[in-house]
Structure 1
Amino acid sequence: MIAKIGRGANMMGALSYNQLKVDQENGAILVTHRIRETINGNHTIAQFYHSFEPYLIANKRTENPVLHISLNPDPRDQVSDEDFKQIAKDYMERMGYGDQGYVVFKHTDIERTHIHIVSTCVDRNGKKLSGNYEKLRSMDACRALEQEYKLIPATEKSRNPKEELFRPIDYKAANVKSQIASVVRHLPKYYQYQGLGTYNALLSLFNITAEEVKGELQGQSKQGLVYFALNQQGEKVSNPFKASLFGKHAGLEKLQKHFEDSKEKMNLSKGKTILKNTIEIALHTASGETEFKKQLLEQGINIVVRRNDKGRIYGMTFIDHESRTIWNGSQLGKNLSANVFNDWWKNEVIEKHQESILNNPSPSSSAVKNNPEKETEQPHELFDFLDKKQTVFHNDNFGLIEAFGGLLPEAQGENYEEHTFSNQMKKKKKRRKKGN
Structure 2
Amino acid sequence: MIAKIIYGQTCRGTLDYILGKEGMQVLGYGNTFSQDIPPKFFGSLLHFQGQRNATKNRYAHISLNLPHDEHVDDSTFFEISKEYMEKMGYGEQPFMVVRHNDTKHEHVHILTTNVNDKGQVLSLYNSKRRSMATTGYPETKYNLEPVPRTKQEKQLPIFRLPETRTNNDDIQGTRYYIQDVLNRILQRYKVRSFEELARLVKPYHIEVRQTQSTTGRAGVAFGLDNRQGYRTRFINGSRIHRQMSGPKLQRIFDSHKRSKLLPMHRKRLLKQIGTTYDLFKTIRPHDLKEVLKEYKGMDIELDIKRDTIEGYTIYDKSGYVFREKELGKHLSMQKRLDIFGNGDAWTEINIHSKQFLIEMQKLIREAIRTSYLKSKQKKGLLSEHIETLSFTDIVPILMESEKHRFLEKYMSSEQKHLFRKNLQETFPKIQQRIHDTETIKEKEALQGKFDLIGDVLRKGVFNVGATDGSVRHLFQALGVKYRNNKLLFNDSEKYSLPVPLGNLPFPKKMEEHVSNGFVRQNHLMLEMMIKQDVDNVSKQTAISFFLPMVFPGLFKRMNSDYRQRYERLALGAYLKHAERMHASFEKSPKDYIAFFNAKGFYFEKGESGINIKSIYTNINSSYKMPKRTNLYLGSIPDLETTLKQQQPVLENLIKNRRDNLKNLWAGHLMELGHYDRVAYMLTNESVYPNLDRKATIHHMDKGLRKAIQERIASKNTFKQNRLLRKGVYAIGSLLDKPTGNQEDYNGFKDELTDYTKRRKNRGISF
Q: TM-score, normalised by structure 2?
A: 0.27
Q: Which has the higher strand share?
A: 1
Q: Which has the higher contact order (CA 8 A, sep 6+)?
A: 1
Which protein shows a greater Rg? 2
The structure in which a higher percent of residues are helix is 2
Superposition TM-score, scaled by structure 1 size: 0.45
